[in-house]
Chains A and B, each alone.
Chain A
């Protein structure tokens, strides 16, 4: 167990360094923007002199580089990510309000996608019928090639517009008189299409990996050993194949969470969903630098966090990491 804790501590330290690196890099890049830094912070609006003085003081704009950097880092640690002129609110508050919504959508879709993807991957690689394998592989390939937001558009066209089953956009109706379970269901209908889109996105990625991984596992010697013991097909798959094939997929999970976050930017635009993704787009259009930076830092944090979770998961599945080899 001791080696596992050391392992975790090591990864945490690395993650922290990475985050600091990201923040420092962003800070440096921001210094490179030509022109007036105060104007850049404020965006497209004119800057009254009093505000300019206040901002310069707050962000130590007249001090040397390193102390500015230090001040910046300290601010972030205190949760001060700046103030958005566009929205007239502290950036932190905006993020706090919108991030859970994105997490709900992306998180649920991501989780479903992984489960379904694993199932498809296994089935595809294990089935003795080559045609079934080809069919799945083709579907997955096509799904992978479709731009995610386009999938969203298609779903909207089919299910909302043509069939009228589900609402096209937003998080909930403008006016709602439902309560209790009805309210929940009503809300849920708005989430179905976006979540489905995320799920498709994630499924295609995972299924591809899983199939390759399972194919490779099936070539391994211990599968032959399992056959010799007289285990049935089902027992071999459940007992040996799944556990060993999942490992490469787990390593990919951290990275694909980042992709899911990225997908949020596009999908929330398609569905007009008020999360962090659409926030990013609005901020870029309004040149609201504070918000942009805030979103980037937030996304970096969540991806890094996810990577740690993934590392732990991997260690749990693969005893070679947890337990050091001892020669006898």
Chain B
């Protein structure tokens, strides 16, 4: 699994932001590898810098003032962080460096139909017919089989889980080798969470799509991931194979995270029927 060259490789990535006049070291020297077909999880509590890391790696940082952005993120033989904008755009269109976020509603344009939004990601195809067929295929890949109907809908007419799957479909348009997901299920209901997690699992296991899952949900990590990085205060404090991590965490912080998660799980199980 971890043989061969990594698909996505981050070295000494630093993201320092300027917030209200002070420097905040959101990401402070992170090394990370994702190999082809591997599913890597980054876990940590809110404020650990994991989202910022993910967005820095895909060059989709939000509109905050950046004091420093350094390090390298090698993808397909090139450093994403150092790329010129046109090269980056071409990369996105043809090889894909997509990210799926937490709240699907705001990530879809409310005034455009789904077919139009999916079509935007497929402009490299020859003609309208091809685009339509490919759009339908993408929707089927994420488990939305009633493609003709879904394509004609507006985002507000879909449920939360469907929206998230549409976004995943959009991310799959350029036939990427890796998909980054930032808290993909946090905003969804439990049953819908299950559907989305299963979709991701299928994409990883059956299609060999590498994944970088950023989350605070250790349960999801246990289900999906092969390799786990634990982040705290902008740094990686532990990196291990998923089984090793859960069985024998090396770091005190990791241990406390796991303990807390177990307690929460037990409380939930006692309080209601287990999902």
Per the bound structure, the CA–CA distance linking A218 and B92 in Å amounts to 20
| Cross-chain contact B121 with A222 (CB below 8 angstroms) | no
**23 A–B pairs (Cβ distance < 8 Å), ordered by A:** A218-B63, A221-B103, A224-B62, A224-B107, A225-B108, A228-B92, A228-B97, A228-B99, A228-B171, A229-B170, A230-B91, A230-B92, A240-B109, A243-B109, A244-B110, A244-B111, A318-B111, A319-B110, A319-B154, A319-B156, A320-B110, A325-B157, A326-B157
Per the bound structure, the CA–CA distance linking A239 and B98 in Å amounts to 19
Per the bound structure, the CA–CA distance linking A328 and B154 in Å amounts to 12
Residues of chain B lying within 8 A (CB to CB) of residue A227 = 60, 92
**Min CB gap B163→A, angstroms:** 11
In chain B, what residue has the closest Cβ to A322? B154
Q: Scoring A residues 300 to 328 as 1 if CB is less than 8 Å from chain B, else 0, what string do you get? A: 00000000000000000111100101111
Residues of chain B lying within 8 A (CB to CB) of residue A220 = 106
Q: Scoring A residues 213 to 249 as 1 if CB is less than 8 Å from chain B, else 0, what string do you get? A: 0000011111011111111100000011001100000
**Interface size bracket, A side:** 20 to 34
**Min CB gap A246→B, angstroms:** 10
Per the bound structure, the CA–CA distance linking A318 and B111 in Å amounts to 6
Given known pairs A225-B108, A225-B170, A243-B111, the reply for A232 and B101 (CB within 8 Å) is: no
In chain B, what residue has the closest Cβ to A327? B159
| Cross-chain contact A228 with B58 (CB below 8 angstroms) | yes
Per the bound structure, the CA–CA distance linking A244 and B107 in Å amounts to 13
Per the bound structure, the CA–CA distance linking A203 and B103 in Å amounts to 36
- B residues near A (Cβ < 8 Å) are 58, 60, 62-63, 89-93, 97-99, 101, 103, 106-112, 117, 120-121, 154, 156-159, 162, 167, 170-171, 173-174
**Min CB gap B153→A, angstroms:** 8
| Cross-chain contact A226 with B171 (CB below 8 angstroms) | no
Residues of chain A lying within 8 A (CB to CB) of residue B103 = 221
Per the bound structure, the CA–CA distance linking A228 and B171 in Å amounts to 8
Per the bound structure, the CA–CA distance linking A279 and B31 in Å amounts to 76
Number of A-B contacts (CB under 8 A): 79
Given A225-B167, A229-B93, A328-B159, 8 other A-B contacts at CB below 8 A?
A219-B62, A220-B106, A225-B108, A226-B120, A230-B89, A239-B120, A318-B110, A319-B110
Given known pairs A228-B92, A231-B120, the reply for A222 and B154 (CB within 8 Å) is: no
Per the bound structure, the CA–CA distance linking A325 and B155 in Å amounts to 9
Taking a contact as CB atoms closer than 8 A, the residue among B107, B121, B154, B174 that contacts A320 in the complex is B154
Per the bound structure, the CA–CA distance linking A231 and B173 in Å amounts to 13
Residues of chain B lying within 8 A (CB to CB) of residue A320 = 110, 154, 156
Per the bound structure, the CA–CA distance linking A326 and B154 in Å amounts to 10
Residues of chain B lying within 8 A (CB to CB) of residue A317 = 111
Per the bound structure, the CA–CA distance linking A319 and B153 in Å amounts to 10
Given known pairs A229-B93, A239-B120, A328-B159, the reply for A224 and B109 (CB within 8 Å) is: no
Per the bound structure, the CA–CA distance linking A288 and B157 in Å amounts to 56
Given known pairs A229-B121, A328-B158, A328-B159, the reply for A244 and B109 (CB within 8 Å) is: yes
Per the bound structure, the CA–CA distance linking A326 and B156 in Å amounts to 8
- A residues near B (Cβ < 8 Å) are 218-222, 224-232, 239-240, 243-244, 317-320, 323, 325-328
Per the bound structure, the CA–CA distance linking A190 and B107 in Å amounts to 51
**A-B pairs with lowest CB-CB distance, top 7:** A230-B93, A230-B92, A221-B107, A221-B106, A222-B109, A230-B89, A229-B121
Per the bound structure, the CA–CA distance linking A325 and B156 in Å amounts to 6
Per the bound structure, the CA–CA distance linking A211 and B191 in Å amounts to 41
Residues of chain B lying within 8 A (CB to CB) of residue A219 = 62-63
Q: Which of A232, A239, A319, A326 has the most CB of B within 10 A?
A: A319
Residues of chain B lying within 8 A (CB to CB) of residue A243 = 109, 111-112
Per the bound structure, the CA–CA distance linking A230 and B88 in Å amounts to 8
In chain A, what residue has the closest Cβ to B180? A228
Per the bound structure, the CA–CA distance linking A225 and B118 in Å amounts to 11
Q: Which of A219, A229, A317 has the most CB of B within 10 A?
A: A229
Residues of chain A lying within 8 A (CB to CB) of residue B60 = 224, 227-228
Per the bound structure, the CA–CA distance linking A326 and B109 in Å amounts to 17
**Min CB gap A240→B, angstroms:** 6
Given known pairs A227-B60, A243-B111, the reply for A328 and B162 (CB within 8 Å) is: yes
In chain A, what residue has the closest Cβ to B118? A229
| Cross-chain contact B107 with A225 (CB below 8 angstroms) | yes
Per the bound structure, the CA–CA distance linking A323 and B109 in Å amounts to 15
In chain B, what residue has the closest Cβ to A226? B120
**Min CB gap A106→B, angstroms:** 30
Residues of chain A lying within 8 A (CB to CB) of residue B90 = 230
**Min CB gap B121→A, angstroms:** 5
Per the bound structure, the CA–CA distance linking A227 and B63 in Å amounts to 13
**Min CB gap A318→B, angstroms:** 6
**Min CB gap B161→A, angstroms:** 10
**Min CB gap B103→A, angstroms:** 7
In chain A, what residue has the closest Cβ to B93? A230
Residues of chain A lying within 8 A (CB to CB) of residue B101 = 221, 224
**Min CB gap A316→B, angstroms:** 10
| Cross-chain contact A232 with B89 (CB below 8 angstroms) | yes
Per the bound structure, the CA–CA distance linking A317 and B90 in Å amounts to 31
Per the bound structure, the CA–CA distance linking A325 and B163 in Å amounts to 13
Q: Which of A218, A224, A327 has the most CB of B within 10 A?
A: A224
**Min CB gap A54→B, angstroms:** 60
Residues of chain B lying within 8 A (CB to CB) of residue A326 = 157
| Cross-chain contact B173 with A319 (CB below 8 angstroms) | no
